[in-house]
A and B are shown apart, each in its own frame.
Chain A
Amino acid sequence: MSIRNHRARRMLVTLAMLASIATLGPAGAEAADQAKILIKDFMYQTMSLTVKSGTTVTWTNNDDEPHTVISDTGEFRSSALDTNETFSYKFDKPGSYRYHCSIHPRMVATVVVE
């Protein structure tokens, strides 16, 4: 029973996260300065995220394995994020920002700032 509840709760949390991501496109005016990216199953779950300048993006690691968020060109760099730890960075300048995980360098994704 407790396992089932736990699973259900986790599913709700996941759904809530997905919902929050869904509302966050450039069109989501009321929350336009915040965006979230989930790290799960050795992937940045949003491979390419487009945000407006001034947006703070927060990554959350959902894996049991640590990951990092490191700009290919050095603009930002997280420490090793353990399970459920987060890293945030505010994107002030338009451009395309590629980043990767230094522990698993095949994990790559991009934030596009308009």
Chain B
Amino acid sequence: MSDDKVLLSRRKALKCMAYGGAGTLFVLAGGVFAPVDLAMAADDKRGTARLGKPLFVQISDTHIGFNKDANPDVNGTLTQTIDIVNGMSEQPALIIHTGDITHLSKAAEFDLAQQMLARLRTTELHTVPGEHDTTDATVAEYFSRFGKASNNKGYYSFDHAGVHFIALINVLQFKPGGLGTLGQEQLDWVAADLKGRSSSTPIVVFAHMPLWTIYEPWGWGTGDADQLMSQLRRFGSVTVLNGHIHQIVQKVEGNITFHTARSTAYPQPLAGEGPGPAPLKVAHEQLPKMLGVTSVTVVKHPSSLALNDTTLA
């Protein structure tokens, strides 16, 4: 990477910090996904257009119902996020929410979240639940609102613009003391879902908890994700999107790109800093910067998509 590009990304990254919790925009460029910071997209419309048509926006960890010091106004930061998405010159075809829609799985929280998300100009919304959405014994609150796509199983797939999307649930079968779990039934379903599909089909997999182990002591991972990855390796372009950890972490392994999204609600500490993944309290004026910090590298060409675990924080 040339110095100019470094400077450009740094300047743009600083600009991004002015925004609150925004989602991540993915554009389809030659069958490969290029994550671009949303704030940047809103700011540089022509630049976004050069990258291709926006395919979808990932929003994550909205935690409606949270009201502690780390962000007393999660409704405000979600509203800001939605405004940024709605302000994009070209609207994405669909929105993906990677879970922790609510903070406490309460009906009123789900109702409010749905009302707010209904303001999105893009009306096609796909969701997976986070562990904060499923604390009621029967997961009735989540499934009664978002269960239709999966027949209340939590996992489903769909196609859009030649891309195959797979939504997975890894927050229901926690083993005490362990990581998230997909479970054999869901893994078998994935195998059947992928069977006969051309390996040139771009695949997007999304689930709440990271589908690779980022930090085991805090449960930042999925215990049986390896069995999923072994099914995905034959595909030429696989993008794995998660939330849960309220910060961007990326990894590239062969043809598989892993990416966790920021929260729109509050930041969490870096892995292992403090007793647990508690809401990170920062000075009021620092909060938008914490939510806005992104490690996504701007790429102008698919061949430079090696994400290199870049962090600007």
Contacts and interface: CB of A to CB of B under 8 A. Distances in A.
Contact of A103 (B131, B175, B281): B131
A80 interface: yes
A68 to B, nearest CB: 6
B313 interface: no
B247 interface: no
Nearest to A100: B176
Majority secondary structure of chain B interface residues (helix, strand, loop or mixed): loop
Contacts of B50: none
A80 B132 contact: yes
B68 interface: yes
Interface stretch (A15-23, A25-33, A58-66): A58-66
Contact of A108 (B68, B177, B277, B278): B177
A102 B276 contact: no
A68 B133 CA distance: 13
Interface residues of B, number: 27
Interface of A: 41-43, 63-66, 68, 72, 77, 79-80, 82-83, 98, 100, 102-106, 108
12 contacts: A42-B276, A64-B69, A64-B278, A64-B279, A66-B104, A79-B135, A80-B104, A103-B135, A104-B276, A105-B178, A106-B176, A108-B176
Interface of B: 68-70, 103-105, 131-132, 134-137, 174-179, 217-219, 275-279, 281
Given A42-B277, A79-B135, 7 more contacts: A42-B276, A68-B135, A80-B104, A82-B103, A100-B177, A105-B179, A105-B219
